[in-house]
Structure 1
Amino acid sequence: MGNLEPNSPLKERISLALNNEFLRNAVKFTTERLRKGKQTATDELGNWEEWRSYGQAIRMHTIAHLDYYLSQFVNNVRAAGGFVHFASTAREAVEIAMKIMEAKQAKSVVKSKSMVSEEVHINQALEEKGIEVVETDLGEYIIQLAGETPSHIIIPAIHKNKKQIAELLSQVAGEPLPADTAILAGFVRSKLREKFLSADIGITGCNFAIAESGSIVLFSNEGNARMVSTLPKTQITMMGMERIIPTWEDLEVMATLLPRAATGQKLTVYMSAITGPKRSEDGDGPEELHIIIIDNGRSNQLGDPEFQEVLNCIRCGACLNACPVYRHVGGHAYGWVYSGPIGAVLTPVLQAEKEKWGEVANASSLCGACYEACPVKIPLHDMLVYLRRRNVEQGTTKKREQWGMKVFQKVASSHKRYRLAIKAGRIGQKFVARKGEIKAKIGPLKKWTAHRTAPALAPRSFREMWQDLQQQQTQIELDPTIQKRMEEMLKKRGDQHESEQK
C-alpha cells in the first residue's frame, strides 16, 4: 500500500485502507501476535496492574513537576559537557539541527528510530539541503526507501511483506534479491555498516531522559541506536519535552513496562545510556553531544484537566495493537506521524490546524481497549470523547451529523417517540433484513454495510420483554389457585422433611 495523502479526507483514507485486503491481513496478523506476546510476558511478570499503577504514578508526578525536572536535567547535561537547545516548534527544531550541520559541514547523517524526528520532518529538511540521511532501524530503512511514513510506532513497516521488501532492497542492490529474511537482513547490515563508518553526524531519539544525571536512554532491538550514538563524532538527540523521568530507579519501572507492553519482551535487547560526550577514558562515544528539547504543542496540554495525561505516554504502541479500528485500517489512514488511539488524541491536540485534524478523533469505537492495554493507564477513550465534544462546541462537525444528532436527541428523549421509531424501523427492515442481518448498501447504512453486516432490530425489545415478565409475575402473585397450590406444595415438603427427621 502506498503512502496515503494526508490532506485527503479521513473517510477517503479509511476507505482506501479497508479496500486493501493485504494491508488488513498483515496488520491484523502482526498486532494479534504482539497482543499475545504482551499477555504472556505480563502474566509471567505477575502483579501487572500494580506495575501499571506504579508507572502511572511516576508519569503523573513527573508531568505535574515537569519544569523542575527539565531544569534539573538541563543543568546535569551541561555539567557533563553536553549542549542543550530548546525548540518551541517543529520548524525551530529543524533550524537548530541545520545550524549544527552547517557548523560541522556535515554531508552525511545516520539516524536511529525516532518518532519525534518524524514529527518535525527532519529527513525532508536534510535532503533539501543535499545532506544524505539514512535510517538505520530496519523497518524505518524500508519505509524510507518506499517514501512512506511509519505505519506503527514500534513496527514502522508492519504493512509490508517480504516480497515487497525484497523489491525495494533489490533497487538499492542493483540486482534481484530473494524474499528470504536472512539474506535481506544481511544485505541491509552490510549496507548500513558503510554508512555508520562514514557518517558525519548521528541523530537519535530519546526513550527516557534521567533528570538526576542528565542521561538519555535509548531502547533498541537491533543495536543500531548504539552505533548511531558512538561512531559519528557529533550526536544530535531530539526529544519531546515530556520524555523526562526523575531517577534511575524510575527507569527500572519503565524498562519493565515498555518492552512487555510493546513487543512482549521481558527486556529490550539493547538499552544504551549516554551521559554527556565522550571523555578521555571512554573507548567510544561522540565528541560532541547536542540535545534538542522539543515542545511543538506539548506545553499547551500542561494544566489541562482533560489532556495533560496524554503527556504520560511512553510510546510503546500497545494501544494500537488493542484498537479494533487500527487493526482494520493500519497507521497511514490516520494521516500524521502518530496513529491508533494515541494518534487520534495527539494529532488534534498537537497540530495547529484544529479544524483539519479534529475529525481523526472519530476514528475510534470508544471501547476502552486502549486504556486496558496502556502500561501507564492513560484514559484515551475519555480524551476522544472530550475531543468530539470540543468539535461540536466549535461547530466544526458536518451539518448532516449535527442534524442527525438533533433527530436522535428528539427521538431518544421521549419513550413514546422511541417506541414509534423502533416500530417504524421493524417495518422498514422487512425489505432489507435477511436472517437477522442487513447487508444492503442503501441510504445511511451503506457506509456501514460496505465492509460489514448490520444487525437487524430484534423482533421484540427488552422493554417489551420486561413488561411481559412483570405481567407474568403479577399473575403469579394474584392468582389464588396458584397461591393455594404453592402453599400445599410447601406444606407437603415440610411434612416430608419433618418425617425424615423423626
Structure 2
Amino acid sequence: MKRVEHAKLASGFLSHPEHVAFHDKRLWDLRSKRDAQAHAIPEWETLRSLASAIKAHTLSKLADYLEQFVSQAEANGVRVHFADTAEEHNETVYRLLSERGMTGLVKSKSMLTDECDMRPYLESRGIAVMETDLGERIQQLDGQPPSHIVVPAVHKLRGDVAEVFSRTIGTDPHNEDIHYLAQSQRMNTRPWFVREKTAGMTGCNFAVAETGTVVVCTNEGNADLSANMPPLHIVSLGIEKLIPRLSDLGVFIRMLSRSALGSPITQYTSHFRAPREGAELHFILVDHGRSERLAMPDFWHSLKCIRCGACMNTCPVYRRSGGLSYGSTYAGPIGAIINPTFDLKRFSALPFASTLNGSCTSVCPVKINIHEQIYQWRQVIAAQHEVPFVKQEVLKMAGRLLGSPTLYRGAVASLEGALRRLPNFMLYNPLNIWGRQRDLPQAPATTFHAWYKKNRQGGSRGQS
C-alpha cells in the first residue's frame, strides 16, 4: 500500500486552529487527570513494575498460557477459534454469522476488529454492522476510522457531531447540546440489540488463562448489551491480551482507567466465562503478526500494551497532528512502534513523528520503552533505505555542520546572524512541510561558546 505521509495528512487537521486547540487541551486534560490519580496512589510505581513484569512473564510463556486458556474456555462451554491473519479472523466471523443466518452485528469498540478491517469485509457480504460505542458510532457515520484508542472521536467538536448526526440520522442540525446528541445516538442504536438475526460482538481487554475468562472494560454499557442481548456473542482478542491468573487482574484494573481517562475505574468491568443458557459464546484468538513481533529482540515489548492511550494523551506531536494523520488504527507513540511491524515501508514515516522527549515512556502503565523503540525503528528504517531522499540530504547537511565544531563555529563566526538563519533555512523551506506549522524561538544575542570565551577563558573560574 501507499506510504503514509504523516506530515501531509496532519496539514489538513492543522488547517482548523479551533480543532487543534480543543484537541490539544482535551488530551492534556486527560494527561493531567492521569497524573492526579497516579500521585494519589503511593504504590503507583510498584504497580507499574508489577504490571510490566506480569506481561513480560506471560509473553515469555505465551504458548503455555494459550493452551491453558483454551482448555479452560472449552471446559466452560466456549467454542474457541484461531486466526493467524486478519483475513482468517474476518472469514471466521463471517462463517459464524452466515451459518446461523445472521444478517446484522452489534459490536462494542474493538481495536482488533478495526485492525483487521472487519467492518467493510462484512458489509461487502451483506452483513449490517452497528458500532454501539458513541465515539465509534460518530466515526462510522462520518465514514472515518477512530482517531484515538480510547476516545475515538476526540478530534471532533460538538458542532461537528451535530452536523454528522443531522446528515445521517436526522437530528436537529442547530442543536449542539451534548445530552441531546448522546440521547439521539442511543435511540438510533438501541433497537439493533433486539433485532432478529443479529449477533453481538465485543473486544477484550484482558483474557485470564487460569479461568478461561475474558474481561471487557467500558463506560457506556454497550458491550454488556452486545454480549447479553443477541443469541450469539463473538469475542475477538489478540493473543497478547492474556494474563496468567485472576489475581493478576486487579493490578491492571487499577491502572487501566486511571491511565486512560484519569478516573479510578471504568463504569463496567464485565467478565465473560461461559455462554448464557440457550446462547452461544465464541472466542477468536488472533495472531496477525504478533508472533513475529514477539521474536523481535528490540520490539517485542510493545506487546505489553493494554491500549490505555496514555502515551497519546501526553505526546505533543499527536496532540497537534490528530490521530487520523497516522493512517492506521493505532496512532500516536504506540502506533509509531506497532505499525512498522505490520508494514515497514508503508509506515516508515511514523517513527520520525516524535520529539523523543520520553514522556510516552514515563506515563506507560506497563513501562514500555516507547521512545527508545521509536529511535530504534529510525535506525532500522535508515538501514533499509526507507528514508525519503530529501530527508536524507537535509540530515546529511545538518550532520556535517552540527557534527563538526570547527565548521559550526566557523559558520557562526563568519556570517552575521548565521545562528538565526541556518536553522531557519533548514526548517522553513518548500521541501519541509513541518516548517509551515512551527516557529523557532528567537536565538540569543551571543552563543554560549562566545560568552564562555569572553568571560571564562584563562580564568580560574573556568577550572574545576
Q: Same fold (TM over 0.5)?
A: yes
1:229 counterpart SS class: helix
Is 1:123 equivalent to 2:123 in the alignment? no
Structure 1 residues 369-394: Cα deviation after superposition (integer angstroms, max 9, x where no partner): 10011111111101111111011111
Q: Does 1:39 align with 2:35?
A: yes
1:3-402 to structure 2, matched below 5 A, reads: 9-176=5-172, 178-198=175-195, 200-279=198-277, 287-351=279-343, 354-402=344-392
Q: Could you tell me how far apart the structure 1 residues matched to 2:117 and 2:311 are?
A: 24
Contact kept, 8 Å, 1:448 with 1:454, in 2: the verdict is no
Unaligned regions of 5+ residues in structure 2, if any? none
TM-superposed CA distance for 1:162, in Å, is: 1.7
Q: Assess if the C-alpha contact under 8 Å between 1:429 and 1:456 holds in 2.
A: no
Contact preservation (8 Å) 1:439, 1:452: no
Q: Describe the shift of the 1:100–1:440 C-alpha distance in structure 2 as closer, same or farther (beyond 3 A).
A: closer
TM-score normalized by the length of structure 2: 0.93
Q: Distance in 2 between matches of 1:362 and 1:102?
A: 44
The equivalent of 1:485 in structure 2 is none
Partner of 1:420: 410
Structure 1 residue 303 displacement after superposition:
3.2
Amino acid across the alignment from 1:452: R
Distance 1:189 1:393, change over 3 A: same
* 1:143-172 CA distance string (max 9 Å, x none): 111011001110001011222212222344
Q: Quickly say closer, same or farther: Cα 1:170–1:93, change in 2 above 3 A.
A: same
Which structure has more relative contact order (CA 8 Å, sep 6+)? It is 2
Contact 2:10 2:322 in 1 (8 A): no
State the shift of 1:424 in Å. 4.9
Give the Cα–Cα distance (whole angstroms) in 1 for the partners of residues 432 and 81 of structure 2.
52
Contact 2:112 2:238 survives alignment (8 Å): yes
Which deviations, in whole Å up to 9, do the C-alpha atoms of 1:29-61 show, x marking residues without a partner? 210221121122112222221111111111111
Tell me the equivalent position of 1:480: none
Out of 384-393 and 452-461, give the one that drifted further.
452-461
After superposition, the CA RMSD in angstroms is 2.4
Distance 1:95 1:419, change over 3 A: same
How far residue 192 of structure 1 moved from its aligned partner, in angstroms, is 1.9
Give the whole-Å Cα distance in 2 for the aligned partners of 1:349 and 1:229: 32
Matching residue's letter, 1:416: T
CA contact (8 A) 1:23 1:330 kept: no
Match of 2:440 in 1: 454
Report percent identity of matched pairs.
Answer: 35
How far apart are residue 293 of structure 1 and its match? 1.0
- TM-score, length-normalised on structure 1? 0.86
Give 1:295's aligned amino acid.
Answer: D
Contact 2:199/2:232 (<8 A) preserved: yes
Deviation of the 1:442 alpha carbon: 4.7
CA positional deviation for 1:461: 2.6
**C-alpha spacing 1:441/1:271, structure 2 compared with 1 (3 Å):** closer
Deviation sequence 1:106-157 (CA, Å, 0-9, x none): 1111000100010111110111112111011111111111011001110001
Give the aligned partner of residue 500 of structure 1. none
1:414–1:198: structure 2 CA closer, same or farther, 3 Å change rule? same
Which shifted more, 448-457 or 237-246?
448-457
Secondary structure, in 3 states, of the residue corresponding to 2:457?
A: helix
- Report if aligned partners of 1:411, 1:417 keep a CA contact under 8 Å in 2: yes
Distance 1:172 1:213, change over 3 A: same
- Counterpart-to-counterpart distance in 2, 1:475 and 1:204: 67
| Separation in structure 2 between the aligned mates of residue 277 and residue 117 of structure 1, nearest angstrom | 21
Aligned AA for 2:191? E
- Give the letter aligned to residue 247 of structure 1: R
Query: Which is worse superposed, 378-387 or 446-455?
Result: 446-455
Query: Which amino acid in the other structure matches residue 289 of structure 1?
Result: L
Which has the larger displacement, 196-205 or 69-78? 196-205
Once the 2 structures are TM-superposed, how far is the Cα of residue 225 of structure 1 from its aligned partner? 0.6
- Pick closer, same or farther for the CA change 1:222–1:424 going to 2, 3 Å: farther
> Do 2:109 and 2:203's aligned partners in 1 also have CA atoms closer than 8 Å?
yes
**Aligned-partner Cα distance in 1 for 2:26–2:72:** 41
Aligned pair count? 461
Distance 1:293 1:408, change over 3 A: same
1:177-205 CA-to-partner distances (Å, cap 9, x unmatched) read 62112222222222222111116211110
Q: Is 302-311 or 14-23 further displaced after alignment?
A: 14-23
Q: 1:443/1:236 Cα in 2 relative to 1: closer, same or farther (>3 Å)?
A: same
Measured in 2, the distance between the counterparts of 1:37 and 1:7 equals 36
Distance 1:127 1:438, change over 3 A: same
Question: Amino acid of the residue matched to residue 300 of structure 1?
Answer: E
Deviates more, 1:237-246 or 1:183-192: 183-192
Q: Is the 8 A contact 1:438 1:456 kept in 2?
A: no
Give the match's secondary structure for 2:182: helix
Specify the code of the residue in structure 2 equivalent to 1:385: Y
Distance of 1:475 and 1:264 partners within structure 2: 49
Rounded to whole Å, the distance in 2 between the matches of 1:223 and 1:424 is 67
